[in-house]
Amino acid sequence: MLSYKLGLEYAKELDQNDVLATYRERFYIPKNKRGEELIYMTGNSLGLQPKVTKTYIDKELSDWAILGVEGHTQGETPWLPYHEFLAENMAMVVGAKPIEVVVMNTLTANLHLMMVSFYRPTKSRYKILIESDAFPSDKYAVESQLRHHGFDEKDGVVLWKPRHGETLLRYEDLETIMASQGNEIALIMIGGVNYYTGQYFDLKRITELGHKYGCTVGFDCAHGAGNVNLDLHDSGADFAVWCTYKYLNSGPGSLAGCFVHERHAYNKELNRFTGWWSHNKQTRFNMRDDFDQLPGAEGWQLSNPPILSMAAIKASLDMFGEVGMLALTEKSKQLTGYFEFLLQQLGDHTINIITPKNPEERGCQLSIQVKNADKTLHEKLNEAGVLSDWREPDVMRCAPVPLYNSFQDVYLLVEKLKVILNDK
Ligand SMILES: *Cc1c(COP(=O)(O)O)cnc(C)c1O
C-alpha cells in the first residue's frame, strides 16, 4: 500500500518527484474559453494529442508531395512496410511478440475479422460468452455474428453477470457458467479492462478456463492498451483487439491494433477473410499469383493502410517506446492510488468507487458512483473546468493518465468535486 498526505503542497511535491512529469509538456492540454487549461480526465475516451504528431504527419504529406507514388518504396519511412515500423513498440505496449501484432482497420472491424477466424460454431457448440456490461459495439458485433451463422442471439449470448447488488464480476461465477455450459460455448470474448467499472480481468485465468472447455478466447483491450501491462502473449489468448485513440493517443477514429497468438502464426488452415495485404509481400505485386498467406498477425490485413493515421500512431508509439510500460504503470498506480485516497478522505457517504481496490485489478480509471446524483453533477464539474465522463444513471468515470495528468490535476479535481457535493 502506498501512503499519501492531504494538501496542495503535497500534490506539488509529488509532481516534483515524478520522473514522467516533463511528458505533460509534450501534449496539447485542452483549454476553456478563457484560455485556462482544463483538468482532462477523459483520456480513456480520447487521448490527448502529442505535439510531435503533426511533425510525423507532415513528414508523410511532404513525402507524398515530393515523391508521389514512389513514397511507397522511398523516403525514410516508406509506406509499403509502414505497419512494420509500428510492430515492435506496439508489441511492447501489449506484451506480445512483434509477429503477433498488427495495426489495421478499426476496432470493431478487427473484432469481426477475428471472429471470422476464431468463432467457428457447430450445431452443438455455438454460444458466445461476454460480460454483461460489455461495451455496446462488442455486444452488437457478437450478436450479429450469431445471426450471421444462423443462430438466435437471445439463445446464443451467454452473459457473465455481477451478483445481485454487486458491480464487479467474480471468477467463481464464470467457472460455474463454464461447468454447466462450457461444451456449448464456442468463444469467450471479454473486455480485458471493462470500460464501465474499470475492472481489469485476469486474462490468463480466463483463457486457461476457456481452453480447458475447448473454447477459443479473445479480448477487447480498448481500455487496456497503453493503460495496464497486458502480457497478451503469456495470457495465451487466441486473439485480442484494441483501438489506438484512447490511451494510445493516436487521434480520433485512428486505426486499431490486433493480436493473434504466435501458435496460430503459421496455420494456413485457419479460415479468414483476406485481401492483397494478407498476401506474401515478395510476390504481392505480381498480381496474378494464387493467394499466399503471410504468417503472423500481418496475415489478417486486407488493405494498404491510411498512412496519415499510421503516422499519428507512430508518433505516439515512439513515445511509449521511450517511456516503457513499466515506468508508465508505476506512475499510474501512484496517481490513481492518490486519487482514491483523496476521494476517501472526503468522507462523503454518497460516494462509492466501483472500480476494484486492488491496483493489480484496475488501470488508471476510477468509476465513481454518486448516490442520488444526476448528470448536473457532471455538468457542474464541467463548468468548473473538469472534463470527465458521465454514465447513466449515476457513474462518473475519471481517468488520470500518467503520461499527461499531474498529481495537481487530481488534487484540484477532488477539491472541485468537494465544493459541488457540499453545495447540493
Ligand atoms: C472504445 C471501444 C470501442 C469502440 O469501437 P470502434 O470500432 O473503435 O468505434 C469498442 N469496444 C470497446 C470495449 C471500447 O472500449
Q: Give me the tens of pLDDT residue by residue for the chain, a chain 424 residues long.
A: 578 999 999 999 999 999 999 999 999 999 999 999 999 999 999 999 999 999 999 999 999 999 999 999 999 999 999 999 999 999 999 999 999 999 999 999 999 999 999 999 999 999 999 999 999 999 999 999 999 999 999 999 999 999 999 999 999 999 999 999 999 999 999 999 999 999 999 999 999 999 999 999 999 999 999 999 999 999 999 999 999 999 999 999 999 999 999 999 999 999 999 999 999 988 888 878 889 899 999 999 999 999 999 999 999 999 999 999 999 999 999 999 999 999 999 999 999 999 999 999 999 999 999 998 888 999 999 999 999 999 999 999 999 999 999 999 999 999 999 999 988 6
Domain boundary among 296, 322, 348: 322
The pairs formed by 84-91 with CB atoms below 8 angstroms and a separation of 24 or more are: 85/314, 86/310, 86/313, 86/314, 86/317, 88/321, 89/317, 89/318, 89/320, 89/321, 90/257, 90/317
Which atom of ligand 1 lies at the shortest distance from residue 256's CA?
Answer: 8
Residue 248 within any structural domain of the chain = yes
> Hey, whose CA ends up nearest to atom 1 of ligand 1?
222
**242 alpha carbon – ligand 1 mean position (Å):** 7
The CA-atom distances, in angstroms, between 229 and each of 48, 130, 202 are 20, 22, 11
Cell numbers standing for residue 295: 504468417
Sequence-distant (≥ 6) Cβ neighbours of residue 51 within 8 angstroms: 26, 27, 28
Ligand 1 atom nearest to 191, measured from its CA: 13
Q: Is residue 60 part of a domain?
A: no
CA atoms in the 13 A half-sphere facing the CB of 361:
13
The domain containing residue 381 runs over which residues? 8-50+324-422
Is 44 annotated for ligand binding? Answer: no
Q: Are residue 254 and residue 385 in the same domain, yes or no?
A: no
pLDDT at 284: 87
Same domain, 188 and 243: yes
Residues 174 and 291 in one domain: yes
Q: Which helix (H) or strand (E) holds 265?
A: none
Pocket, ligand 1, Cβ cutoff 6 A: 106-108, 135, 137-138, 191, 195, 220, 222-223, 243
pLDDT value for 80: 96
What letter would DSSP give residue 99? G
Residues 178 and 110 in one domain: yes
CA end-to-end distance (rounded Å), the chain: 33
Say yes or no: 112 and 165 in one domain.
yes
**Residue 108 counted as an annotated binding residue:** yes
Q: Which of 42, 44, 108, 132 to mutate to test the pocket of ligand 1 (most atoms within 8 A of CB)?
A: 108
137 is in an annotated binding site: yes
Domain boundary (274, 302, 322) is at 322
**Same domain? 254 vs 396:** no
Taking the centre of ligand 1 as the mean of its atom positions, its distance from the CA of residue 121, in whole angstroms, is 24
Same domain? For 276 and 169 the reply is yes
Distance 162 CA to ligand 1 centre (A): 22
Q: Domain holding 355: CATH number? A: 3.90.1150.10
The predicted structure's pLDDT at residue 424 = 65
231 has binding-site annotation: no
Domain end position, chosen among 268, 299, 322: 322
223 is in an annotated binding site: yes
Cα 191 to averaged position of ligand 1 atoms, centre (Å): 10
On whether 300 is known to bind a ligand per the annotation, the reply is no
Please tell me the total count of domains within the chain.
2
